Amino acid sequence: MADVLPLVEARLRSALGEPDARAAVTFLGTDRIEVLRFTEGDIVRYATLGMSAQPMSDPTAMLADPVAGPRAELVLSVRGGLADTDKVLRPLAVLGASPQVEGVIVAPGASLDVGEPLWPGAPFTSVLVAEPGGLVEDLELDEPLDPVRFLPLLPMTPNEAAWKRVHGAQALQERWLTNGTDLRDPSRRSVPLE
- Average the pLDDT over 179-190 and give the result: 95
pTM over 0.75, yes/no = yes
Which pLDDT value is given to residue 111? 95
Instruction: Inform me whether the pLDDT recorded for 58 exceeds 80.
Output: no
More confident residue, 73 or 82: 73
- Which H or E run includes 5? helix 4-16
**Reduced to 3 DSSP states, what percent helix, strand and coil does the chain have, rounded to the nearest 5?**
30, 25, 50
Tell me the pLDDT tens digit for each residue of 113-168: 999 999 999 999 999 999 998 899 999 999 888 999 999 999 999 999 999 999 99
With b for 16 or more beta-carbon neighbours within 10 A and e for fewer, the 170-189 pattern comes to: eebbebbeeeebebbebebe
Residue 18 has pLDDT above 50, yes or no: yes
- Tell me how far CA of residue 194 lies from CA of 2, 55, 164, 191, in angstroms: 50, 40, 13, 9
**Taking the C-alpha atoms of 84, 77, 107 and 35 in order, what is their torsion angle to the nearest 10 degrees?**
-60
- Decide which of 60 and 106 is more confident: 106
- pLDDT higher than threshold 90 for residue 5: yes
76-98: pLDDT as tens digits: 999 998 899 999 999 999 999 99
Examine the pLDDT at 106 and tell me if it is beyond 80: yes
Distance CA 5, CA 50 (A): 6
CA angle 155, 159, 162 (to 5 degrees): 95
* Contact present, 148 and 174 (Cβ < 8 Å): no
Question: Which of 4-8, 61-65, 77-81, 112-116 is predicted least confidently?
Answer: 61-65
For the cut 50, the answer to whether the pLDDT of residue 1 exceeds it is no
Yes or no: say if 97 and 33 are a contact pair by the CB < 8 Å rule. yes
- Pairing, β 43-49 against β 71-79: antiparallel
Edge-to-edge, what's the strand order for the sheet holding 21-25? 21-25, 33-40, 43-49, 71-79, 148-156, 126-129, 111-113
CA distance 50 to 188: 30
